[in-house]
Structure 1
C-alpha cells in the first residue's frame, strides 16, 4: 500500500477535549506502530482530512516519524476551506502547524462549509485516491468513523483496497506498554 488514508473518531467522541489528555499519546503510539509496519511494506503517503481527533493526531505522528523515515509524505485534504474556523485557538494553532509541515494540502471543495454533502465528497475523493485505510474504530462504540468504514468496505469489494483497524484492545495494549515504560518495567 503506497497511499494510506487514516481516520477515526473525533476527539469529542472519545471524551478528549485537550491534547494534554493521557489518551492522545496512546493513540499516537498505536498509529506510529502501524505506520512503521506499513513503511516496511512500501508506504509512501499518509492522507488525512485533518479533523480534530484521530486524524490530526495521526498527522502529528507522521510528522514525528519523518525524522526516521524522511521519504514518508503527508497530505491533508480537507472537505472545505477553513474547516478550523470555529475551533479554539489552541486547536487552530496545532492544526496550522500540521498544515505548515504537510507535504501537500488541498480542499476537495473550494468554498467554506456549505453543507454535509462536502463530507460525502471528501470521503469519495479520499477513498478513490488511496490504496487502503487505517481506522481507529471499535465496533462496540459506533461513531462517525462507521460511515468511512462502510464506504471503504464497498471499495474493497470493488477493487484491491486494504482495511486495517486499530481496535480498543490494541489501544489498551499501547496504554499498558506506556505504563510499564513510565514505571521502568521495560
Structure 2
C-alpha cells in the first residue's frame, strides 16, 4: 500500500471525526481541522523554545519537558490551555479510532507506522498515557512518517491531554 494513500486516509478520517468536536465547542465561527489545531500548537511549542524541530528526537525531548514539573508555563499559554481543554474529546479518535479504521479498510501492511502506533495505543490507554508509553508510541513511528503531521498530531493531542490532566484543577497561572 502506498504511504500517501495511508496518510490521506488518516487525515480524512481524523478531520471528518473531529470536525463536530470543534463545531460543538466553538460553533461555526471558528472551524478548525485537527491538523490546523496541532500545527498551531506545534508552533507555540517552538515559540516557547521547548521544541526545536519536528523530529522524533526533539519530540521525545518535548515529552520529557511536558511530563516534568517545569511544564506549568506551557499550560499558562492561552492557546495551549484552550486546546488542552478539548484534548480529551479528540484523543480516542486520533490515537485509536482512525488508525484502526485505516488499518482495517486499507488492509495495511504489518510493518507500517500506523500498525505499530495502533499496537501501542492499547499500552497508552492502559497506562493512563504515562511518559514511557508515550515514548514507546513515538519510537515506533518511522522517521519519514514522523515528518507528516498525520503522525505527529496524535502525539500533540496526548501531550495536551497530559497538560490538561496535570493542571486543570489548579488553573491559576503560575507566577514564574
- TM-score where L is the length of structure 1: 0.26
Structure (1 or 2) with the greater strand fraction? 1
Structure with more relative contact order (C-alpha pairs < 8 Å, separation 6 or more): 2
Structure (1 or 2) with the greater helix fraction? 2
- TM-score where L is the length of structure 2: 0.27
